[in-house]
Amino acid sequence: MSSVTIEFQSLSKQYKDVLAVSNFTAQVHAGRVTGFLGPNGAGKSTALRCLLGLVNPTSGQAFIGGGPYSALHEPIRSVGAVLDSRGFHPGLTAMQNLKVMASASGIDFARIEEVLKIVDLEGATHKRTKGFSLGMKQRLSLAIAMLGDPEILVLDEPANGLDPIGIVWLREFLQKLASEGRTILVSSHQLAEMQNTVNEVLIINKGVLVAQGTIDEIRRGKSLEEAFLDLTLGRSA
Amino acid sequence: MKNLLQSELRKLIYLRANWLLLLWSGLFAALGTVAPIMVLNSENNRMGFSGTNTPEGINAVFSNAAGGYLFALIMGILIMTNEYRHGTAVGTFLVTPKRSTVLLAKLIAASLAGLVNQIFSYIFAVGSGLFALTFFEPHAPVPGELLMKVFRATVISGLVLGIVGVGLGALVKNQVVAVTGAVIWTLIVEGLIVAFVESVGKYLPAGAITGLVNVDFGENEFNFAIENYLSPGPATLVLLGYAAVFSIIAMRTTLRRDLD
């Protein structure tokens, strides 16, 4: 088994009357693409935001790269994250947005050309992002996440807005990164696509972990969608 | 910190809206000197102020050259609220999880932006005022001491109001509400309090800036009298107090807030 790089330990997050995440414990391993699945409002995004230090857990903790995110030295060089498709200013060009992020973390601007090439956005370098399609925004978010050439990628619904070609590109992109030994944690609603992309699966429902294992262990001969519905709706197998 | 500050300054420079705001601040400040020249040279509607052929009239005109501080305030608000409006706060805090460091960089950047904004609008206002005066000869001389006093108020207000804007933006978060509130407060509410309730108004930012300028307006229908305002030393302290209070507000709200 490869090493654990992301760990949730009894993580809970309460928002007033809503328990978004409840006693969530899970591990994510290096060299794998781990799918983080659950219905809308299941607590996926909250758990990821707790992991990245953006939301304070009510109890429990989350570790990434051996400690809390806030303890990482130059975190952008260890962890890349895509949490939504709005993480950049619409009035700036792709290049300007990337320069803002690169300069904040002392990354050489030469890396910007590289990441734009990786996400296939070279043709839109000097275009203001308010004119970007959702798919282009997702690619730019991925470019920002890749700026520091991180060992760990945390992606929240990265396939949203991508066309079929973009989805295939994303699948191959994530699998290539995992084959390099990187850790990929990716949340998604697109179960059919996840089935072709991930090696391991975490399923969360109503804030509670309901299943964790390899894709084959979770599917047990069914489609991922069927297995997911069985687990989240409590249907009999 | 150096990297973060560079990043904040890049955001300021890259955004075209900021350059437009700078231009507006210049025009606004220029209006502040040109309009009084027109009013003070009209025969029937001087509102009791002396004309520009008197030192008091010249004082009344050029004391307005520090009047672009509203735009320094707006610049500070935008620096903070843009992060929430466009969702860039997530990326910013992922790069630098220590939020106090991010806030410090923003406060410094806002202070510098406020300073640049105020100096630009001061130059615009003084230049426009001097030009407009040439149409109303003879006029009293414009003393260098007056321009230096106003410049002092310009610099201090620019440095402080940018910081106040960041604090306000951190507190309110909603950009439209924060900017609209700042405009209504500065142009209407604060102006009325400073003009008509001097005992309170002298402690507000606009009143403190008036005290910093510290020039005699002469007799007028509004009973403006510089003696009713703080002298430059205490006025500076009041403004620095605002900077400190709003810095603390920015820190406390941003450090505790969940980014959902």
Query: Residue B156 has what pLDDT?
Result: 93
A chain contacts of residue B86, beta-carbon cutoff 8 Å: 86, 88-90
The pTM score is 0.84
Cβ–Cβ contact A87 with B under 8 A:
yes
Q: Is the pLDDT of residue B226 over 80?
A: no
Low-confidence residues of chain A, pLDDT below 70?
Answer: 1-2, 85-86, 235-237
Cβ–Cβ contact A86 with B under 8 A:
yes
Q: How far is B258 from chain A (nearest CA, A)?
A: 5
Query: Residue B102 has what pLDDT?
Result: 92
Between B250 and B244, name the one with better pLDDT.
Answer: B244
CB A100 to CB B95 under 8 A? no
Non-local (6+) Cβ contacts of A84 within 8 A are: A141, A156, A157, B87, B90
Query: Residue B228 has what pLDDT?
Result: 78
What value does the mean pLDDT take over residues B228-246?
89
CB atoms within 10 A of CB A130: 12
Q: Contact at 8 Å (CB) between A145 and A174? A: no
Which string of b and e fits A94-105 if b means at least 16 CB within 10 Å? bbbbbbbbbbbb
Non-local (6+) Cβ contacts of A207 within 8 A are: A12, A13, A19, A20, A21, A22, A24, A42, A43, A46
Cβ–Cβ contact A14 with B under 8 A:
no
Q: Is the pLDDT of residue B124 over 90?
A: yes
* Whether the complex's predicted ipTM surpasses the cut of 0.90: no
Query: Residue B237 has what pLDDT?
Result: 93
| A&B contacts, CB < 8 Å | 82
CB B98 to CB A91 under 8 A? no
What value does the mean pLDDT take over residues B136-155?
90
* Residues found in chain A: 237
CB A101 to CB B17 under 8 A? no
- Laid out side by side, the sheet with A18-29 consists of A18-29, A4-15, A59-64
Q: Is the pLDDT of residue B79 over 70?
A: yes
Non-local (6+) Cβ contacts of A87 within 8 A are: A141, A144, B87, B88, B90, B91
Non-local (6+) Cβ contacts of A20 within 8 A are: A13, A14, A43, A46, A207
Q: Contact at 8 Å (CB) between B203 and B176? A: no
For residue A91, the chain B residue with the least C-alpha distance is B15
Query: Residue A235 has what pLDDT?
Result: 59
Model pLDDT for residues B163-210, shown as the tens digit of each residue: 999 988 988 889 999 999 989 998 889 888 887 887 888 899 888 888
Q: Is the pLDDT of residue B83 over 80?
A: yes
- The half-sphere exposure of B245 on its side-chain side, counting CA atoms within 13 A, is 9
Task: Please name which of A215, A182, A177, A150 lies closest in space to residue A31, comparing C-alpha atoms.
Answer: A182
Q: Where are the alpha helices (DSSP H) in B134-203?
A: 144-172, 175-184, 190-196, 198-201
Q: How far is A219 from chain B (nearest CA, A)?
A: 32
CB A100 to CB B90 under 8 A? no
All structural domains of chain A, each given as residue ranges with its CATH number in brackets, are 1-77+183-237 (3.40.50.300)
Query: Residue B241 has what pLDDT?
Result: 93
Q: Contact at 8 Å (CB) between A33 and A197? A: yes
Q: Where are the alpha helices (DSSP H) in A92-163?
A: 94-105, 110-118, 134-146
| Residue at A199: amino acid letter | N
Q: How far is A235 from chain B (nearest CA, A)?
A: 32
Model pLDDT for residues B17-61, shown as the tens digit of each residue: 999 999 999 999 999 999 888 888 777 666 667 788 888 888 888
Residue with tokens 């620095």: B240
Query: Residue A237 has what pLDDT?
Result: 47
| H/E element, A81 | strand A79-82
Q: Which residues share a beta bridge with A155?
A: A82, A186
For residue B258, the chain A residue with the least C-alpha distance is A55
